[in-house]
Amino acid sequence: MDPRLEPFAARTGNRSHTVVVGLQFGDEGKGQIVDLMAARHDVVVRFNGGANAGHTVRLPDGAGGETRIATHLLPSGVLTPDRLNVVAHGVVVDPEQLLSEIDALAEHGIELGASLCVSERAMLVAPWHKRADALLEKAIVAAGGLSLGTTGRGIGPAYADRAYRVSALRLGDLVAPDLESHLRSVLDLHNTILAALAARVGEPFEPFDAAEWAPRLAHWGERLRPHLTDTVALLHEADAKGLRILFEGANAALLDVDLGTWPFVTSSHTTALGVPSGAGVPCAWVNRVIGVAKAYTSRVGEGPFETELSGELADNLRQRGGEFGTTTGRPRRIGWLDLVSVGTMARTVGVTELAITGLGPLAGLPQVCCRVPGQAELAEFAGWPDGLDAFAAYDELPAPLQAYLATIEQHAAPVRWICLGRRRDQVLRR
């Protein structure tokens, strides 16, 4: 038995694992649902993406206010005591970022220690990947191609490295004795490509030097060593012990590398379909899937956006919803809810229940709209008043809001969670 599983009492009964994924373009507020679900699970797993994701969790500070904690790579379960947190091999890991998140939590009195396990097979994201991300965007635009507006976190180049294989390093390589010679060959390839890209866009380029970077990577590796492990074996042992596992999706369904709005997507499998390969677990484990959808839509970066709004209404919703990127600070594009794409995604990836967020920013509008299947015009709903946090039960909610939720349910999946605000205690169950 893995010693990290020893503190957990064995459970009997049916297997009870859950997946939480966003159904739009990210920033649906998944962190809030993951945070709530973490209380009902023993293990919380990240299985995709990297530091392009950003979860902000708000915790009551005990004095009537709230403390905001943002994580980019750590599973949201780190904020719930006594959980085991796993960063599986499907995640691309920037060790400097991960270590800074571990340190930031320690400053809040949360010491992760043995409660954080990171796959030794996870792909490394290094400064050369971030440089490639930036140069690729510029070079493709210079060549007359499409700008994706990436987060610049090196995500695409790191996943590309995984596919190239010979130019990639995995986290386990950072603690291997041959790191410097391995890095030398890897950097030779990266430097060759980066120099050509930099020349293409007329930027200076200083090659990455293996003698300089090997000690830095080794230092990060040493700091991460206590967390590095075979997370596949760990998850299978956890399941055998009857523990409940929560899989936390990063980014969102419409950004999925295969199913999203290609090519304006991220580079990983962002839905429940990414869990088996990204965490190394059987498909049969994925039978409860919570899809999180915001009651309106936001998108960062380029790409199609059927229900996009502009002008005062968009500005107003952006401000009310705090729609500025957690990772990049960019103002998010804003639009109405698109139930054509949300419903298609929910069915495609097997969503079994929905959590609806973002109702508060819509409150007070005279009218709310959404796109529904089989209708060229947007469906229109009467608005609902401000002050949603006063409601404690679904049946008490204003009738127009109930009608809106019923439409969502009709076109997507059963609505089981209604987030009236962003705090833990502002979520209604249904």
Q: Assign residue 101 a region: left if phi > 0, alpha if psi is -120 to 50, beta otherwise?
A: alpha
Q: Rule CB under 6 A: which of 377-416 touch ligand IMP?
A: none
Token look-up 């299947």 returns 373
**Among the candidate windows 107-115, 199-207, 235-243, 262-270, which touches ligand IMP by CB under 6 A?**
262-270
Q: Which two tokens stand for residue 266?
A: 């991220």
**Among the candidate windows 142-150, 216-224, 226-234, 238-246, which touches ligand IMP by CB under 6 A?**
142-150
Site string for ligand IMP, 222-261 (x = CB under 6 A): ----------------------------xx---x------
What span, in angstroms and rounded, lies between the C-alpha atoms of 35 and 280? Answer: 23
**Among the candidate windows 145-153, 187-195, 345-353, 369-377, which touches ligand IMP by CB under 6 A?**
145-153
Given 153, 162, 170, 190, the residue binding ligand IMP (CB under 6 A): 153
Q: Assign residue 313 a region: left if phi > 0, alpha if psi is -120 to 50, beta otherwise?
A: alpha
Angle between helices 179-201 and 127-142 (to 10 degrees): 20
Smallest distance from ligand IMP to CB 269, Å:
12
- Give the number of other CB atoms < 10 A from CB of residue 241: 16
Beta bridge partners of 290: 20, 353
Smallest distance from ligand IMP to CB 160, Å:
10
Smallest distance from ligand IMP to CB 299, Å:
7
Site string for ligand IMP, 2-21 (x = CB under 6 A): --------------------
What span, in angstroms and rounded, lies between the C-alpha atoms of 416 and 26? Answer: 20
26 binds ligand IMP (CB under 6 A): yes
Smallest distance from ligand IMP to CB 133, Å:
7
Q: Assign residue 64 a region: left if phi > 0, alpha if psi is -120 to 50, beta otherwise?
A: left
What span, in angstroms and rounded, lies between the C-alpha atoms of 301 and 325? Answer: 10
What span, in angstroms and rounded, lies between the C-alpha atoms of 356 and 42? Answer: 24
76 binds ligand IMP (CB under 6 A): no
Q: Which of 27, 35, 94, 173 is catalytic?
A: 27
123 binds ligand IMP (CB under 6 A): no
48 binds ligand IMP (CB under 6 A): no
Closest-by-Cβ residue to ligand IMP is: 301
Given 48, 151, 297, 341, the residue binding ligand IMP (CB under 6 A): 151
- Give the number of other CB atoms < 10 A from CB of residue 66: 15
What span, in angstroms and rounded, lies between the C-alpha atoms of 54 and 331? Answer: 14
Known catalytic residue: 55?
Answer: yes
Beta bridge partners of 134: none
Q: Which is nearer to ligand IMP, 69 or 397 (CB)?
A: 69
Given 69, 78, 155, 281, the residue binding ligand IMP (CB under 6 A): 155
149 binds ligand IMP (CB under 6 A): yes
Angle between helices 127-142 and 155-164 (to 10 degrees): 100
Q: Which is nearer to ligand IMP, 73 or 405 (CB)?
A: 73
SS3 content of the chain, % helix, strand, coil (to 5): 40, 20, 40
DSSP string, 266-303: -SS--SGGGHIIIII--GGG---EEEEEESEEEE-SSS
Q: Which is nearer to ligand IMP, 21 or 368 (CB)?
A: 21
Known catalytic residue: 89?
Answer: no
Size of the site for ligand IMP (CB under 6 A): 20
Given 80, 85, 266, 271, the residue binding ligand IMP (CB under 6 A): 266
148 binds ligand IMP (CB under 6 A): yes
Number of H helices, E strands in the chain: 12, 18
Q: Rule CB under 6 A: which of 156-185 touch ligand IMP?
A: 156
Backbone torsions φ then ψ of 406, nearest 5 degrees? -65, -35
Q: Which of 17, 41, 55, 190 is catalytic?
A: 55
Q: Rule CB under 6 A: which of 279-338 touch ligand IMP?
A: 300-301
DSSP code of 95? Answer: H
Q: Which is nearer to ligand IMP, 37 or 73 (CB)?
A: 73
Host H or E run for residue 43: strand 43-46
**Among the candidate windows 12-20, 95-103, 150-158, 228-236, which touches ligand IMP by CB under 6 A?**
150-158
- Contact between 49 and 274 under an 8 Å Cβ cutoff? The reply is no
Catalytic residues: 27, 55
The footprint of ligand IMP (CB under 6 A) covers: 25-27, 52-53, 148-151, 153, 155-156, 250-251, 255, 264, 266-267, 300-301
